[in-house]
Amino acid sequence: MAQDGPKIAFTGRLLMIGCGSIGQGVLPLLFKHIDVTPDRVLVVTADSRGRDVAAEAGVAFREIVITRDNYLDVLGPLVEPGDFILNLSVEVSSLALVRFAKDKGALYLDTCIEPWAGAYTDTSLTPSQRSNYMLRENALALKRELGKGPTAVIAQGANPGMVSQLVKEAALKLAADLGKPADVPASREAWSKLLHELGVKAIHIAERDTQVSSEHKKPGEFVNTWSIDGFVSEGSQPAELGWGTHERHMPPGGERHPAGCDAAIFLNRPGASTRVRTWTPLAGSFHGFLITHNEAISIADYYTLREGGRVVYRPTVHYAYHPCDDAVLSVHEFAGRNWQEQETQRLLMDDITSGVDELGVLLMGHAKGAYWYGSRLSIEEARAQAPHNSATSLQVVAGVLGGMVWALENPEAGLVEADELDHVRVMEVMRPYLEPVVGAYGDWTPLEGRESLFPEDIDREDPWQFKNVLVV
């Protein structure tokens, strides 16, 4: 269990926007880490979810739908210099709130780069325009525009977020195990050189959720262990992945973006309809959904190594997600309805009877084969740590807490991504909520067991080619 320690000094007020599964999970834990009293915390959210949890914490609760037309009028009177905006909402523009926070002199954190309502599925936009890649490019443009000032941490939950810190810790452990121990790199370029020297070609954000409810999914119902609105939105976006320099084959339907850092590609199909092969120590080999996530792009970009302006190294990075079994059934039904969401949602929480969320980073292509490093949090361990959490939500909550502590300790950093945070400090806050955190080597490759039934067009010279992992 996480031990109580010194709280981070904070004299302002905390405005939490959104109070779904993550908001309800983080609310009781804020007071363990931050020196704030309930009377200085306000929840503003679109519906009544979380009202009871806020009341239990003694926190004021307002039910208001925030839109692009009213956000300045609604939020303006609620924020002053030195306050903290914690954005855990859906369909509220992250970049609008970052700019608002800068103007107000307030700190800011969110768990993903969220657009205004409708942007994820707006067919008047091209697939590239409604991608996470382009959302991130817009965020980077805002970073350049705003410069230094009040810290705004974007995309710092579990994934995106915590997994970026896990990559750094895993790289250092891998280096030691390969007989190439390294000091903690002091720059982005030094981190890129380390991964290049280790021979890492691909990084999967590999997640297998085995949590089980006492009540199985019903027809016409979408069931999940975390935000259903969030999962539906990102599952409807184009599948995306960071695109490595070793790749020789563009996957079917794959395209590059017309502008930006060029660290990623997208596929002309929803992520929730695309599966990839991956591996975790407990689950072994499995198929995961290629759901678009900010970290697949930001990690690939962060570890891009350039010489004289030319890209000489970049790993392929993608999320491979096997949600709980009832969520898999929900996705299949969702796809069969031509991506029209089911009439009913059910968030799994108190009805979970058992299971583990095995979430980590799988570093592949190096001399030791494959190295998975991450959290193996069970529902029992999650409940022992905090109320109102599943194993899945607590991993996100841990990332939020770690990012908030870092922001309060570094209040003038401007807009920063998860990959830019001090991973040692953030892991110090997160680790007690993630335990057990484990590393495991395996000899798995995406070619394992292939062609057992039918011949396939695969290239055995390089098993880390994305061509060999896509299931079409």
Which sequence spans correspond to the domains of the chain? 14-154, 162-388+423-471
| CA dist., res. 161 & res. 153, Å (int) | 10
- Fold classified for 162-388+423-471: Dihydrodipicolinate Reductase; domain 2 (3.30.360)
Rg (CA), the chain: 21
Q: What is the pLDDT of residues 248-260, one digit of tens each?
A: 989 989 999 999 9
Q: Integer distance in angstroms from the first to the last C-alpha of the chain?
A: 43
| CA dist., res. 278 & res. 286, Å (int) | 6
pLDDT given at position 461: 81
pLDDT given at position 460: 81
- Fold classified for 14-154: Rossmann fold (3.40.50)
Note whether 46 and 22 are within 8 A (CB). Answer: no
pLDDT confidence tier of residue 110, bands split at 50, 70 and 90: very high
Q: What is the pLDDT of residues 89-99, one digit of tens each?
A: 999 999 999 99
Tokens linked to 77:
């009177």
pLDDT confidence tier of residue 103, bands split at 50, 70 and 90: very high
Q: HSE-up of 158 (CA within 13 Å, CB side)? A: 29
Note whether 207 and 288 are within 8 A (CB). Answer: yes
Contacts of 141 (CB under 8 A, 6+ apart): none
Note whether 250 and 238 are within 8 A (CB). Answer: no
Using the predicted structure, report yes or no on whether residue 30 has a pLDDT greater than 60.
yes
More confident residue, 170 or 252: 170
What 3-state DSSP class applies to 439? strand
pLDDT given at position 3: 52
Query: In whole numbers, what is the pLDDT of the chain averaged over residues?
Result: 96
Widest pairwise Cα distance in the chain: 65
Length, in residues, of the chain:
472
The fraction of the chain above a pLDDT of 70, given in percent, is 98
pLDDT given at position 4: 65
Q: What is the pLDDT of residues 309-361, one digit of tens each?
A: 899 999 999 999 999 999 999 999 999 999 999 999 999 999 999 999 999 99
DSSP label of 8: B
Q: What is the pLDDT of residues 129-153, one digit of tens each?
A: 999 999 999 999 999 999 999 999 9
